[in-house]
Amino acid sequence: MLILVSNDDGVDSEGIHVLAKTLKKTKESRVVVVAPDRERSATSHSLTLHRPLRVVKIKDDFYSVDGTPTDAVTLAVHKILRRKPDLLISGINRGANLGEDVHYSGTVSAALEGAIMGVPALAVSVVGPPPFLFGPAASFTVKLARQVLKEGIPSGLVLNVNVPNKPSSQIKGYEFTVLGKHNYSDLIVEKKDPSDRPYFWIGGDPRQFENNPGSDCNAYLKNRISITPLHVDLTDFNFLEKMRRWKIR
């Protein structure tokens, strides 16, 4: 088996090193890390088209790319590995990728890029304030990866995994979920620079969720791991059938 590991926190992040080390301990697969050379959080599914990209081999099966998570996965599959991996795992991310976060997340987008290329993919995040405990998430990811490789998942699908930032003894199992609602208070912060010109920070409290039963946010609030299947095909098939009855004049 060939497993590709990437992320959006950068090749030096603790999460990707813990994940790769844990995967290698199983000695069941070759694990290759290809990740951005620096943090690229919230870059979504951006692809670099207007400048050259550089790949640096840090050591055997460990590479950095001076681009986005999507760039890293694209170069990994088409140039570095020279074949499609059996599994792509993106993470382990520092912080949540719950609810609407998935639309902005570089972690999720790296996994989606793999899914677009027909590679089964996982996006894994640790949810909660720092300091982050990556060990429990890494151990669960190995178990989930084995299940995915055994059972298979449909083409074009990503499993988005959010693990509470707690010791394993305090995590109360897992559940399969839908996307929840992630509320951000004080989304825009306005301040003034020394010249009295306004500037803005986009941010907000990342830990405010609507407690909707069956959602990924609800699972986190219960100290459970959430596993949410996401599809690259964004078509709303139910509404499409209604639209086909429209008469536009």
Encode pLDDT of 88-139 as tens digits: 999 999 999 999 999 999 999 999 999 999 999 999 999 999 999 999 999 9
Q: Which amino acid is at 94?
A: R
How many angstroms separate the CA atoms of 225 and 42, rounded? 22
* pLDDT confidence of residue 208: 73
pLDDT, mean over the chain = 94
How many angstroms separate the CA atoms of 23 and 61, rounded? 13
Q: What pTM does this model have?
A: 0.93
- Could you tell me how far CA 73 lies from the centroid of its own chain? 12
Domains in the chain: ranges and CATH: 2-181+210-243 (3.40.1210.10)
**Preceding amide of 198 cis, omega within 30:** no
CB neighbour class for 195 (10 Å; exposed up to 12, middle 13-18, buried from 19): exposed
**Preceding amide of 92 cis, omega within 30:** yes
* pLDDT confidence of residue 121: 98
| Confidence bin at 42 (pLDDT 50/70/90) | confident
Per the structure block, which two tokens stand in for 211?
């407690």
Q: Check if the beta carbon of residue 34 is closer than 8 Å to that of residue 7.
A: no
How many angstroms separate the CA atoms of 16 and 138, rounded? 9
Mean pLDDT of 13-21: 98
